[in-house]
Structure 1
Amino acid sequence: MSNKEAKAHSLLFMFMFLFVLNFSLSQVDDLELLLSFKSSINDPSGFLSNWNSSTPLCMWHGITCNNFSRVKVIDLVKKNISGIISSSIFYLVEIETINLSNNQLLGEIPKDLASSVSLRYLNFSNNHLTGEVPKFSFSLEILDLWGNLLSGKIPSQIGACSNLQELDLGGNNLEGRIPSSISNISRLQILTLACNKLVGRIPRALTKMKSLKWISFGYNNFSGEIPQELVGLVSLSFLDLAYNNLSGQIPSSLGNLTNLQHLLLFGNKLTGLLPRSIFGLKKLIEIDLSDNYLFGEIPELIIKLQSLEILYLFLNDFTGKIPNALASLPRLHVINLSSNSLIGEIPSLICNLTSIVVIALADNNLSGIIPPCPGNISKSLTVLDLWKNSVHGPILETFGQDCGLRNLNFQGNKLEGSLPRSLANCRNLEFVDIGNNKLNGSFPYWLYTLPELQVLGLRSNKLRGVLHSSKTSHPFPKLRILDLANNEFTGPLPKGIIKNMKAMINLKEQQSSTQYMRGIYYPYHFNLTVKGFYIKLYETTTTFASIDLSNNNFHGEIPSVIGKLSSLRGLNLSHNSLSGHIPTSMGNLTNLEWLDLSSNMLTGQIPSKLIDMTFLTFLNLSNNQLTGPIPQGKHFNTFENGSYEGNLALCGFPLLKACNNDGRKQSPSFLKEADDSETKINFGWKVVLIGYGCGLIFGVVVGYVTFKNGEPKWFVTLYHVKYHGKGRR
């Protein structure tokens, strides 16, 4: 081998040695940095159990290496880790992606973040991070800090991050204004600042950011008008300015955003007519202009929006008729025009909407009959809400075997006849409210079999007859709210139905967490008498249970099995003809918040076990025939006289009538003594009144004689001076 070849081999060997040495040392560096990170967090699930020196670094859970075995990716999404974020991970030389989202991390984001020169993607969203937004690494392309507890202002240094394509700082507590330097990020495509406390006007400088496709500024405190200059954002497909304090009219220049698919301006103070230019946006999928002050008619031009799927115009001042053009939108599956001033009949053309999911026309001035088509469209239709209109006539038998309805609300109309039996085909029904109408006939027993029914409201109709026990083994398997008040039902309370209402027994144990009844696009609202007040519940939890059978003609005793409904929050049996004792088992209703048994014929004592109902804040036992002492202690000491008035033989606090020492009602001798005392008092007052009357007559006569003779002169003179003085004034 020549000297040249020997030298070449030596150099190659030294190079390989140095490379291996550097490789080994670099892996040691990465390992130490990651172990430092691990030492600062808690790992109750044991996901990081193989993060140790005996396991090759690139085989650690959540770690991805590059071709040179250097750490490139840390992915620990939803791993239930907690603790603080060590700054060591930002010194990983080759790191490009760090994703620690959806965990329980605390503390501040390390300032060393700005030192990383290789980091491209950082996601700390949905944790509990605090402090201010740190300065960013200039190399970052995607930064997601959504859903933390960050405060302070958006740093002006953000404008220097020229590589940013996606910036998400929403769902925090950021304050102040959007820094104008943000417009320097020319490559930015997604900008999310929603759900903060940002103020001021929306910067017009945003129009410099020609790459913007997504703007989400909803749920802040921005004011002023929507900038006309937004017209320059020709790539924009998503614009969310909802729930701010924006005013003025919707600028017609928005019609130039030809790529716009989602326009969300709800919850502001916008006024004026709908700009016609909007109806030229042929790519629009969703329009939500609800909860503003918009007025005028909904134009037939809406027919141009052939891509439209969701239309929210509720809570405005729109007038006129529902445009027939809506029936010509083939992809439309949500219509919500509730709470406006719309008139006329419901267009029969809606029967053509074979893909419709939600029709909400509540709280308008609509009249006429319900179009005979719900059955034709009910395969896709899940919500039909006509609450508080003037729709009349019968509900037709049009619901077919493939009915997909979940929410049917006809409350507050003028509907007549009986409930159509074909509704039994709607096996997915969860909510039925047809209260405050003119329905007649007997109770629709086929409702017992609906497997998903949770809310049933038939109050204030003309329904009558006896509520018979069900022939089905488990009637109303999921029913939680039953309102049959203000009808003409008679007979005993249906013991067989009550004892089988399984959904009202240990309801909280059946639910892993508190949830609200709502569809994909629509909440379930319900009118209910709560603690003596008829109110509207805009959202109902899945653990809420209530029974209202008031203002009927039920008679007989309250069945003791009612004590099994331990999840009840409200019970109203008032204004019936119920008799017998209040069952002691009612004390088992420990979740009860209101109890109204007033205006019946109940007898006996108030069970002392009712004291165990620790959540009870409203009690009305008035106008019955109850006797004996009122239970004392706990919340019972907060109820006032009105809870017990009309029960002449009750005694004890808060009534003035005291009980004797052994806690029983007053003995006849005591009552006689009280009556005698009352007689003496009455006699004393009679004497006083007789004396007062005689004295008054005597005084008038003497006064007349005195003035007649002009004596005494000083008094007569003084009287005349005052009298004439008043006359001049």
Structure 2
Amino acid sequence: MATLPLYLLLTSIFLLSLFPTRFAKVPCHADESFALMEFKRSFKTNKTDWRCIHPKVHSWSLDGSGDCCSWDGVKCDEVTGRVIALDLSSSCVLGIMSPNTTLFRLVHMESLNLAFNNFNFSPIPYGFGNLSRLQYLNLSYSDFSGEIPHAISQLSELISLDLSCSWSVPLHLLNMGNFVHNLTGLKELDLSYVNLSSPIPPILANFSSLKLLRLSSCGLNGDFPVSIFQLPNLEVLHVDGNSNLFGSFPKPHWGSPLKSLSLYLTNFSGEIPTSIGNLSLLRSLPSSMGNLSHLTDLELDRNNLQGQIPVSFANLTQLSVLWLSNNNLSGDTLEWVVNFTKLTDLHISGNRLSGGFPSSFENLKQLRRMGLSLNDWYGNIPSTLWNLKDLEYLYLDSLNLNGTIVASDLFKLKSLEELYMFDSHISFTKTFINATSPKLAHLYLASCNLTEFPQFIGYLSKLVQLELQHNKIRGTIPRWMWNNNRESLEYINLSNNLLTGFENNQTDLPLPKLRYLDISSNLLKTTLLIPPPLVEHYDISNNVLSGEVSTSICEVRYLIMLDLSNNTLNGTIPPCLGSIGPLEILNLARNKFDGIIPRIYPDGCALRMMDLSENQLRGIVPRSLANCGMLEYMNLGDNQINDTFPFWLSKLASLKVIALQSNIFHGPIEENLSQFNFTSLQILDLSNNNFNGELPSKLLKSCHAMKDIIGQDMSPYLSIYPSLNLSYGEIITRMTYAMTLMNKGIEMEYAKIPNVLVGIDLSNNTFEGFIPELIGDLKSLRMLNLSNNCLNGTIPPSLANLTVLESLDLSWNNLVGEIAQQLAGLTFLSDFDVSHNHLSGPIPRGTQFDTFGSSSFAKNDGLCGSPLPNKCTNGDNVPPPPSSFKVDNKDECLFDLDWRIVLGGAGGGFLVGIVLENLIIDKKSRWFSHYSKKMVKGWKR
């Protein structure tokens, strides 16, 4: 009997030896260790990135045991030793992700998190589809770009998918319905800021496991499927920021688990049904009027809600957060708010609320954020406002308030960090202040009719952001402005005032942390101020600056945007400008610069927008610009550049705008290159040069962006979105392309180029030969100008395929034959000119052709029919052309090489349709418009 326990013991030991336990964990496999190490070596780490928290890969090493299961961010199966989870979120990773990355060898992975890294605009590789066991995939905010690969949709085991991205680096998805078709097990789906540009696919209403659905700012359109509200497990639904998404609330049968609903900046409309009161778990966003006495958060901002704010709101005494901004709500009192003693956030801006301020804010002791902007309130600010000791953010802009604020009262708000009072009628006293404001960091007093700098600014010791643009502040910028904030200021905007210079002709600003400086559109009559060395965004355009630009501008080595346009600066452009590594936007247009364009643009050049137009630059276009692979906009027009066509621009696949007009470019275009690749090109302006030879058919054939009708996407204008990382968060600024175009020889400026604008201007050259039929393939063309050349042959009927064409100018050529009757089908055509050719036959009738005057057809002796006096005879038979008229390949141009003097601009340049006329602005308007969006600070949810 004694042997039995020994037998059992030996048996147990034997069996335990067959199975690894938690005391004898299996190490990871060598092939997976090597795969992870190769993945590590393919990237750098960037600890300065705002997303960086801890570079986990630094702990990875093959020295010693080389057991990858012990590495930071790596989790292995304890039985098999296979890597099943990798979490590298916020790990400071920087670099391009290769399509063949060794990451895809980890085929046993069930969870992968690469969020908040920087993959440098590389596409999401298709290889993610190989990781068939993935249940959790998070690639959010990691600077991937381009189209989301369909291969991810084959990961049928997915439970959570997060591909949300930054607004400045958008991903896009062509067909969301097809993409989610196989992902029926999803519990969490986040595609925020992915460009979907489509309706929400109804199939999502069948995803019964779905707990979280975030589709914020995705360009969604159409009707919201009401059945999604009724998903049995849905807790979080965010579709905010989709202004073309329409919907209404269901009256019965809400999904009872719903806890968070975000619909701001959508087009939901109608009444809020009382059935919303059945959402017993709701703690954030919409509520029924007064029957949810437990409600703590109510957020219904940015919708089309209208009518009076219900009296029952006064029953919601447990509210701590109330957001009703940007609706059409009305009411003539705010007295019901004063009993919300737990209220910390009150934001009701952008409605039709009227009447006076509450008589007292005495009970709102816990209020930290208050936004009352853009309403019809009037009168003075009650003195009790200055007793809100915990108030951090105060938004009072665009109100009818009046009176004078005593600066010392303002300084009673010891917790105040942000003050918005722009577009108001409030003034400030000049009383002496013997203290500094401890926390006020962001001051917005734009469009306040200020005529001088408020003196209290000099006492703000923590001031980070100062916005005084669009006032009437005169004279010089005083030194006392920086008395107490020189070590804190990062952002200054003094644009659109009447400033003439700096006190005592100051040539530098003692602001070592300054990153953003805008003094544009003033009356500065000085030499160029060189900004502090950390400035990234510098705009001093639209002034009266004179003199040369010192090479010390290149010591501002973090510049992302430099705009010196619309001044009288002269001399040569500093050669070092092309070597400023991060520079994305360079605008020196409309000055008096001479000499050559800087020639050195290193590998990895970051330029995206370059405008050197309307100067006196000579020489050639530097070949090193081919290193600027991200260049989208290049305008060298109105200079004295003497060069052949820069065929190497074909290497720049991102180019959308090429403007070389009014220079001394010469020779044929396609002689030096058999292949072109202008995939993204939307605007090509080569007018007023000496180009010759045949029209560049191969170049035009490569313009793939011109072949499909372009629809309005999330951004209606051609823009880029450079970001600025400040201490208080990321600011994204939109820089919108602008361009000087020609309308019947009259120069006009367009402050914004619409995304749908596609145009070709090859006028005023000496091109010869036929108009190629393939132009008819460029179906998104809205403007086509081939006037003042030596073209012969007929007008190709294929031009009738250009169904959105608004302007067509073929005047002053040697064209023969009839005007194709098919052109009458161009219903958008508002400008048409075929004058000064040798055309014959009847003028097409109907639609737009009935609106064109005789000048559109003048000097074509063979044409007949309205609006010309020549009547067509014998039905469609036309008079024969004059006996002296001959057409052959040796036919001479209608003008000689001095055509610029003879014609004086007649017919040159783009003709702009009436659809775009509202974009015409004064010639002194700025080159770009911009706005800033705070991504981290302030009211971010």
Q: For residue 369 of structure 1, what is the aligned residue in structure 2?
A: 572
Q: For residue 442 of structure 1, what is the aligned residue in structure 2?
A: 644
Distance 2:342 2:806 in 1: 54
* Partners of 1:470 and 1:497 within 8 A in 2: no
Match of 2:690 among 474, 482, 488: 488
Q: For residue 225 of structure 2, what is the aligned residue in structure 1?
A: 44
**Structure 2 CA distance for partners of 1:360 and 1:402, relative to 1, 3 Å:** same
Q: For residue 294 of structure 2, what is the aligned residue in structure 1?
A: 94
Is 1:277 aligned to residue 480 of structure 2? Answer: yes
Displacement after TM superposition at 1:463 (Å): 0.6
Displacement after TM superposition at 1:529 (Å): 1.8
Q: For residue 618 of structure 2, what is the aligned residue in structure 1?
A: 416
- The amino acid across from 2:573 in the alignment is I
Q: For residue 528 of structure 1, what is the aligned residue in structure 2?
A: 741
Distance 2:418 2:663 in 1: 50
Match of 2:514 among 287, 308, 322: 308
* Higher mean displacement: 660-669 or 253-262: 660-669
Q: Secondary structure at the match of 2:822?
A: helix
Higher RCO (C-alpha 8 Å, min separation 6) = 2
Distance 2:612 2:372 in 1: 43
- The amino acid across from 1:384 in the alignment is L
Q: For residue 566 of structure 1, what is the aligned residue in structure 2?
A: 779
Cα deviation code 1:78-126 (max 9, x no counterpart): 4976543357454433332223446665554323222222211122345
* Partners of 2:333 and 2:356 within 8 A in 1: yes
Displacement after TM superposition at 1:131 (Å): 5.6
Q: For residue 351 of structure 1, what is the aligned residue in structure 2?
A: 554
| 1:306-705 paired onto structure 2 within 5 Å | 306-324=512-530, 326=531, 329-377=532-580, 379-468=581-670, 471=673, 475-509=677-711, 511=713, 514-520=716-722, 521=733, 522-530=735-743, 532-660=745-873, 662-666=875-879
Q: For residue 111 of structure 1, what is the aligned residue in structure 2?
A: 311
Going by fraction, where is helix more abundant, 1 or 2? 1
* Partners of 1:162 and 1:186 within 8 A in 2: yes
* Partners of 1:207 and 1:229 within 8 A in 2: no
Cα deviation code 1:659-680 (max 9, x no counterpart): 23513334799xxxxxxxxxxx
- The amino acid across from 1:216 in the alignment is Y
Highest CA radius of gyration, 1 or 2? 1
* Partners of 1:604 and 1:625 within 8 A in 2: yes
- What TM-score do you get using the length of structure 1 for normalisation? 0.76
- The amino acid across from 2:830 in the alignment is T
- The amino acid across from 1:307 in the alignment is K
Q: Secondary structure at the match of 2:840?
A: strand
Q: Secondary structure at the match of 2:313?
A: helix
Is 1:262 aligned to residue 465 of structure 2? Answer: yes
Distance 1:62 1:394 in 2: 57
Distance 2:649 2:880 in 1: 52
Q: For residue 727 of structure 1, what is the aligned residue in structure 2?
A: none
Distance 1:158 1:507 in 2: 58
Displacement after TM superposition at 1:480 (Å): 0.3
Equivalences, count: 606
* Partners of 1:316 and 1:339 within 8 A in 2: yes
**Structure 2 CA distance for partners of 1:369 and 1:542, relative to 1, 3 Å:** same
Displacement after TM superposition at 1:655 (Å): 2.0
* Partners of 1:78 and 1:101 within 8 A in 2: yes
Distance 2:317 2:372 in 1: 21
* Higher mean displacement: 589-598 or 487-496: 589-598
Cα deviation code 1:202-238 (max 9, x no counterpart): 64486265233211133x3x34755546968823211
The gaps in structure 1 that reach 5 residues or longer are 1-41, 64-70, 670-729
Displacement after TM superposition at 1:296 (Å): 2.3
Cα deviation code 1:412-450 (max 9, x no counterpart): 111111011100000000110011111112111100110
Displacement after TM superposition at 1:649 (Å): 2.5
**Structure 2 CA distance for partners of 1:599 and 1:407, relative to 1, 3 Å:** same
Match of 1:286 among 488, 491, 502: 491
| 1:22-41 paired onto structure 2 within 5 Å | none
Cα deviation code 1:604-631 (max 9, x no counterpart): 2222222221111111222112222221
Is 1:84 aligned to residue 297 of structure 2? Answer: no
Distance 1:247 1:631 in 2: 60
**Structure 2 CA distance for partners of 1:516 and 1:129, relative to 1, 3 Å:** farther
| 1:143-162 paired onto structure 2 within 5 Å | 143-145=345-347, 148-153=350-355, 155-157=357-359, 159-162=361-364
Cα deviation code 1:350-401 (max 9, x no counterpart): 2112211111100111111111212331x21101110011111112321000
- The amino acid across from 1:345 in the alignment is E
Cα deviation code 1:117-149 (max 9, x no counterpart): 221112234556556675324325334546654
Identity %: 32
**Structure 2 CA distance for partners of 1:337 and 1:661, relative to 1, 3 Å:** same
Distance 1:144 1:73 in 2: 23
* Higher mean displacement: 389-398 or 479-488: 389-398
* Partners of 1:73 and 1:96 within 8 A in 2: no
Cα deviation code 1:434-489 (max 9, x no counterpart): 11111112111100110111011111110100010784755211010111111000
Match of 1:296 among 501, 506, 509: 501
Displacement after TM superposition at 1:523 (Å): 2.9
Q: Secondary structure at the match of 1:368?
A: strand
Q: For residue 260 of structure 2, what is the aligned residue in structure 1?
A: 75
Q: For residue 896 of structure 2, what is the aligned residue in structure 1?
A: none
- The amino acid across from 2:230 in the alignment is S
**Structure 2 CA distance for partners of 1:576 and 1:386, relative to 1, 3 Å:** same
Is 1:215 aligned to residue 402 of structure 2? Answer: no
* Higher mean displacement: 258-267 or 104-113: 104-113
Displacement after TM superposition at 1:566 (Å): 1.1
Q: For residue 70 of structure 2, what is the aligned residue in structure 1?
A: none
Q: For residue 123 of structure 1, what is the aligned residue in structure 2?
A: 323
Q: Secondary structure at the match of 1:152?
A: strand
Distance 1:343 1:644 in 2: 48
- The amino acid across from 1:619 in the alignment is F
Displacement after TM superposition at 1:657 (Å): 2.5
Distance 2:630 2:305 in 1: 41
Distance 1:43 1:570 in 2: 37
Distance 2:257 2:402 in 1: 41
* Partners of 1:470 and 1:496 within 8 A in 2: no
Displacement after TM superposition at 1:75 (Å): 2.7
Displacement after TM superposition at 1:344 (Å): 1.1
Displacement after TM superposition at 1:199 (Å): 5.8
* Higher mean displacement: 581-590 or 177-186: 177-186
**Structure 2 CA distance for partners of 1:88 and 1:253, relative to 1, 3 Å:** closer
**Structure 2 CA distance for partners of 1:576 and 1:113, relative to 1, 3 Å:** same
Q: Secondary structure at the match of 1:159?
A: coil
Cα deviation code 1:678-708 (max 9, x no counterpart): xxxxxxxxxxxxxxxxxxxxxxxxxxxxxxx
- The amino acid across from 1:186 in the alignment is L
Distance 1:454 1:124 in 2: 41
Distance 2:851 2:305 in 1: 45
Distance 1:360 1:216 in 2: 27
CA RMSD of aligned residues (A): 3.2
